[in-house]
Amino acid sequence: MCPHFPFRTSHFACRLSILLLWMMVCTNAGAQTPAEPDTSRPGARLAFPNHGAVHALVIFVQHADVPDGTGDFGSDPETEWPHERSLGPERSLPAWAEGDRLLAPPGTDPAAFDEGSLSAFYDLMSQGQFHLSGYIYPRVYIPEQPVDAYHTNRGDFQNGAVALAHEVLTSDELQTYFDDNPDGLNLAALDTYRNGTNTYGPDGIFDLIILIHRDLTLPRLRRSDNNELIAGSSITSFGVDHVLRPSDPTDFRDPTTDAFASAPVTLGGLRVIDNLTSGSGITVNALTRKQAVRIIAHEVGHRQFGFYHTCESALSPDSDCIGVMTGSGLTMSAGDRIKLGWAEVVPMDLPALGRLDATFPDALQSGQVFRLRLGTDQCGDVIVEARRWNNFWDSPPNPDDPNAPFYRNDDGDQGDIFLPEEGLYLYKAPEPGNPLCGGNLTYIHDDQTYSSLENNGLGRRLSPFRSGPSNEMKAFRVGGTYRTAYTPGDTYAPYTLPGFFYHQNFALDEKLTLTNIRRTDDGFAAELWTDYLTGPPDANQLRIETYPNPFNDYLLIRYELTETMPTTVALYDGLGRHLMTLTEGLHQRGVHEVYFDTLDLPSGMYYARVRMGTRTATRALHRIR
């Protein structure tokens, strides 16, 4: 993998030259690898299947030397993993992992999946196109050494996480279990796809082993050479880290690249290898079932999408914080599913002027999301998906109401993140095949980010809550403080609520309005106006003008108020960052003008935003010199 561009430049021609050079270099590098993934789907690397079925082995791990209470949400024995449960002579699994509750055996009819299992999660999100099933080792593994000893005594392994994984997989108890196979497991099912690709066929390598730790020990196990803890709660490997080996030319897709090379591992007659995209394992930590599934899907996602998070785009650091490839790892957004081919994108062609009545069926039941566009797909079109609390993964916890849907699906604390609101989730869309729209030029692959229009910065805003009491998780409470969707009675008007500008479509951005949002039997409906200034009723009309545009030495903003109201006029740069407030206060009814000189502004794109009461209008501006 080419991990990043070696330098940056803002000059378009130079950036384009770098992009073309990167394409040639990475094409040649890819030709050297024996297992090149299919990159035909925009934004998805596909070093792991996105269709068909893969079977995994899950092994639970708990360190005896980690004190009670570490990472403890409350130890509800039905929904969590109590500290003492696994440390007794039986080494019992958490209750939420018993039977088929976490993972269905290979060959299970999807209709029989437990609604809260990992298998059901992928069946729902993929519209039945991809299944993950397998086996759970029936006892929790208790490591032989204290946590910190694994990095200190790692020998030839890269870090303590790799050393611990090697101990687990080569332990007498696991080796004996697989040799004797007392439960009659179909071991051949554990080698069904060619590692590092999205193609099927045995290659003699274990497909997927998931180590689930009870406690957050991974940073202590994965230390740097100078013994610094490496941040991160989980990883898409047993511990090997591409950051520590940035010059590896194989992009870790070569199955001969193995962190266990100094002491090869075989389990059940299959090789077990460790690298980032063709390796056999991932490592996560979890106390609840919903938490385990979210994090597993995130780490598997790094095999399917690539080594990036959708909240970490260089073009907009706060983009799309609801999605499986985010810091919060909430659920799969429309963008996630589009990139994997799991959503039918229905084009909705808008008239140049006027109103369109639209219905949006539930995205997970219908498999449909909608692309609002003007003629053809363009950068900055709007993706709409309707989401409801009608499935286990999106529904809030209901620990105390036997009549509520999915009763006792969780106990309602920090591990039980759910979809915060029912309603219409709106995203700005990239343009197919255009890496400069929705891509990230600091990486060598096209991120194809679908940036949210409503939940900006949610991942960052959550960070103070994660370590606090569960009642502070306001973002994940019904009626919480952070908006995430447009709900019945809401109106989306251009840039009314979003905190950043991203994937601009100037023909659409200043005009499109969704109003009269209401619930239907199977989703939501809304009125779509394609000229905000002339479409909605008079009470919603905002009259503003900017002159001249493009501007040079000065700018005049003229706006009209139909009544006395609080008004703010502000200027933003091309990425939506606030530059200055030009006027603010209670303004009388009538026409107002704001004049200012612009000599200190560099050339480029700007936005003038006028907020009058609860309504906002925005004008795109161009500064030339």
Instruction: Dump pLDDT digits (tens) for 253-300.
Output: 566 789 999 999 999 999 999 988 889 999 999 999 999 999 999 999
pLDDT confidence tier of residue 317, bands split at 50, 70 and 90: low
Assigned token pair, 55:
């079977």
What local confidence, expressed as pLDDT, does residue 320 receive? 61
Assigned token pair, 479:
């009626």
Contact (CB, 8 A) for 62 and 140: yes
What local confidence, expressed as pLDDT, does residue 348 receive? 97
Gap between the Cα atoms of 239 and 530, Å rounded: 51
Say if domain 542-623 classifies as CATH 2.60.40.1930: yes
Other Cβ atoms within 10 Å of 42 Cβ, number: 18
What local confidence, expressed as pLDDT, does residue 245 receive? 45
pLDDT confidence tier of residue 495, bands split at 50, 70 and 90: very low
- Which of the pair, 319 or 590, is modelled with greater confidence? 590
In which residue are the tokens 């180590």 written? Answer: 211
Other Cβ atoms within 10 Å of 428 Cβ, number: 29
Gap between the Cα atoms of 368 and 385, Å rounded: 8
Phi and psi angles of residue 616, each rounded to the nearest 5 degrees, phi first: -135, 140
Gap between the Cα atoms of 414 and 30, Å rounded: 42
- Which of the pair, 211 or 510, is modelled with greater confidence? 211
pLDDT confidence tier of residue 446, bands split at 50, 70 and 90: low
The angle formed by the CA atoms of residues 265, 268 and 272, to the nearest 5 degrees, is: 30
Gap between the Cα atoms of 358 and 526, Å rounded: 6
pLDDT confidence tier of residue 96, bands split at 50, 70 and 90: very high
Gap between the Cα atoms of 157 and 159, Å rounded: 6
CA distances from 62 to 69, 238, 284, 418, 497 (A): 13, 15, 12, 26, 44
What local confidence, expressed as pLDDT, does residue 7 receive? 25
| Proportion of the chain above pLDDT 90, given as a percent | 43
Residue 106's contacts (CB-CB under 8 Å, 6 or more residues apart) are 53, 55, 133, 134, 135, 186, 189
When mean pLDDT is compared over 3-17, 209-223, 236-250, the highest value belongs to 209-223
What local confidence, expressed as pLDDT, does residue 355 receive? 83
**Which range, of 248-262, 442-456, 607-621, averages the lowest pLDDT?**
442-456
Classify residue 350 by its DSSP letter: P
Instruction: Dump pLDDT digits (tens) for 32-54.
Output: 222 333 444 556 778 899 999 99
Gap between the Cα atoms of 221 and 240, Å rounded: 11
- Which of the pair, 252 or 207, is modelled with greater confidence? 207
Closest-CA residue to 490 (of 463, 522, 464, 514): 514
What local confidence, expressed as pLDDT, does residue 220 receive? 93
What local confidence, expressed as pLDDT, does residue 468 receive? 42
374 phi-psi bin (left φ>0, alpha ψ -120 to 50, beta other): beta
Instruction: Dump pLDDT digits (tens) for 369-408.
Output: 999 999 889 988 999 999 999 999 988 877 778 887 887 7
Q: Does the CA dihedral 270-274-280-285 come out positive or negative? A: positive
Assigned token pair, 446:
């096209």
Assigned token pair, 295:
């994090």
**Which range, of 388-392, 413-417, 471-475, 509-513, averages the lowest pLDDT?**
471-475
Gap between the Cα atoms of 535 and 513, Å rounded: 9
Classify residue 437 by its DSSP letter: S
DSSP string, 190-223: G--B-TTSS-BS--SB--EEEEEESS--HHHHSB
pLDDT confidence tier of residue 500, bands split at 50, 70 and 90: low
Gap between the Cα atoms of 438 and 432, Å rounded: 9
In which residue are the tokens 């039941």 written? Answer: 365
Q: Does the CA dihedral 279-281-285-287 come out positive or negative? A: positive
Residue 469's contacts (CB-CB under 8 Å, 6 or more residues apart) are none
* Mean pLDDT of all residues in 455-459: 54
Assigned token pair, 488:
């019945």
The angle formed by the CA atoms of residues 335, 282 and 465, to the nearest 5 degrees, is: 60
Buried b or exposed e, range 381-416, using 16+ CB within 10 angstroms: bbbbbbbbbebbbbbbbbbeeeeeebebbbbbbbbb
**Bridge partners for 387 per DSSP:** 423
**Which range, of 139-153, 325-339, 441-455, averages the lowest pLDDT?**
441-455
When mean pLDDT is compared over 416-420, 488-492, 514-518, the highest value belongs to 514-518
pLDDT at 242 over 50: yes
Closest-CA residue to 322 (of 120, 459, 472, 422): 459
Mean pLDDT over all residues of the chain? 80
Strand-pair category, 513-519 with 523-529: antiparallel
* Cα Rg, the chain, nearest whole Å: 26
* Mean pLDDT of all residues in 2-28: 29
* Mean pLDDT of all residues in 47-71: 92
Helix (H, G, I), strand (E, B) or coil at 346: strand
Gap between the Cα atoms of 264 and 273, Å rounded: 8
What local confidence, expressed as pLDDT, does residue 42 receive? 57
What local confidence, expressed as pLDDT, does residue 20 receive? 31
What local confidence, expressed as pLDDT, does residue 397 receive? 79
Contact (CB, 8 A) for 61 and 140: yes
Classify residue 35 by its DSSP letter: S
pLDDT at 492 over 70: yes
Write the burial class of residue 99 (CB in 10 Å: 0-12 exposed, 13-18 middle, 19+ buried). Answer: middle
pLDDT confidence tier of residue 12, bands split at 50, 70 and 90: very low
What local confidence, expressed as pLDDT, does residue 437 receive? 78
Helix (H, G, I), strand (E, B) or coil at 392: coil
Strand-pair category, 52-61 with 130-136: parallel
What local confidence, expressed as pLDDT, does residue 482 receive? 59
3-state helix, strand, coil in the chain (%, to 5): 20, 25, 55
- Cis? peptide before 548, omega within 30° of 0: yes
Total H helices, total E strands in the chain: 11, 21
pLDDT at 248 over 70: no
Predicted TM-score (pTM) of the model is 0.80
The domain limits of the chain are 52-303, 321-536, 542-623
